[in-house]
A and B are shown apart, each in its own frame.
Chain A
Amino acid sequence: MSELLPPVIVGAGPAGIRAAERLVAAGLRPVVVDEAARWGGQIYRQPPDGGFTRPKTALYGFEAGKADAVHRAMAAIRDRVDYRPRTLVWNCEAGALDLLSDGTSEILPFSHLILATGATDRVLPFPGWTLPGVFTLGGSQVALKFQGCAVGRRVAFLGTGPLLYLVAYQYLKAGVEVAGVFDTTPFAAQARATTGMLRDPATLAKGLLFVGWLRAHGVPIHNGVRPVRAEGAERVEALVWRDARGQERRTGCDAVAFGLGLRSETQLADLAGCRFRFDEADRAWLPERDGAGCSSVPGVYLAGDGSGIAGADAAELAGERAALALLEDLGRPVEAARVKELDGRLARIAAFRRSLSAAFPFPVDWAAAIADDTMICRCEGITAGAVREVARSGQAREMNRAKALTRVGMGRCQGRMCGATMAELLSRTLGTGPDGVGRLRAQPPIKPLPIATIVPSPRGGEGTDGREVA
Chain B
Amino acid sequence: MALLQRVAEQGRRVVRFTLDGRPVEALEGDTVMTAMLTNGERLRRTEFADTPRAGFCMMGACQDCWVRTEEGERLRACGTFIADGMRLVSGGEWTS
Give the interface of A toward B (CB within 8 A). Answer: 35, 37, 42, 47-54, 58, 120-121, 130-136, 138-140, 142-144, 146-153, 174-176, 234-235, 254-255, 265, 378-381, 411-413, 416-417, 447-448, 450
Q: Which residues of A contact B6 (CB under 8 A)?
A: 148-149
Q: Which residues of A contact B57 (CB under 8 A)?
A: 120-121, 135-136, 138-139, 417
Give the size of the chain B interface in residues (CB under 8 angstroms). Answer: 44
C-alpha gap A105/B32 in the complex (Å): 23
Closest to A133 in B: B3
Q: A130-B51, A130-B53 are in contact. Are A42 and B63 (CB under 8 A)?
A: no
Report the minimal beta-carbon distance from B32 to chain A, rounded to whole angstroms: 11
Contact A139 B66 (CB under 8 A): no
C-alpha gap A143/B9 in the complex (Å): 12
Q: Which residues of A contact B46 (CB under 8 A)?
A: 381
Report the minimal beta-carbon distance from B33 to chain A, rounded to whole angstroms: 8
A-B contacts, 5 listed (Cβ < 8 Å): A42-B59, A51-B27, A148-B8, A150-B5, A416-B63
Other-chain contact of B12, A50, A265, A381 (Cβ < 8 Å): A50
C-alpha gap A90/B66 in the complex (Å): 17
Other-chain contact of A135, B27, B38, B58, B66 (Cβ < 8 Å): B58
Q: Which residues of A contact B51 (CB under 8 A)?
A: 130
Describe B's contact surface by its main secondary structure.
loop
Contact A135 B56 (CB under 8 A): yes
Q: How many A-B residue pairs have CB under 8 A?
A: 152
Interface residue? B64 (CB, 8 A): yes
Counting from the closest, the 3 A-B pairs by CB-CB distance are A50-B29, A148-B9, A132-B54
Report the minimal beta-carbon distance from A147 to chain B, rounded to whole angstroms: 5
C-alpha gap A142/B56 in the complex (Å): 11
Q: A51-B13, A413-B63 are in contact. Are A152 and B48 (CB under 8 A)?
A: no
Q: A35-B79, A175-B7 are in contact. Are A147 and B61 (CB under 8 A)?
A: no
Q: Mark B40-60, 1 if CB is under 8 A from A, else 0.
A: 011000101101111111111
Q: Which residues of B contact A133 (CB under 8 A)?
A: 3, 54
C-alpha gap A411/B66 in the complex (Å): 13
Contact B63 A150 (CB under 8 A): no
Interface residue? B10 (CB, 8 A): yes
Report the minimal beta-carbon distance from A143 to chain B, rounded to whole angstroms: 6
Closest to A153 in B: B5
Closest to A143 in B: B58
Q: Which residues of A contact B3 (CB under 8 A)?
A: 132-133, 151-152, 235, 254-255
Contact A132 B53 (CB under 8 A): yes
Q: A50-B13, A51-B11, A132-B41 are in contact. Are A151 and B4 (CB under 8 A)?
A: yes
C-alpha gap A289/B79 in the complex (Å): 31
C-alpha gap A420/B3 in the complex (Å): 28
Q: Which residues of B contact A135 (CB under 8 A)?
A: 55-58
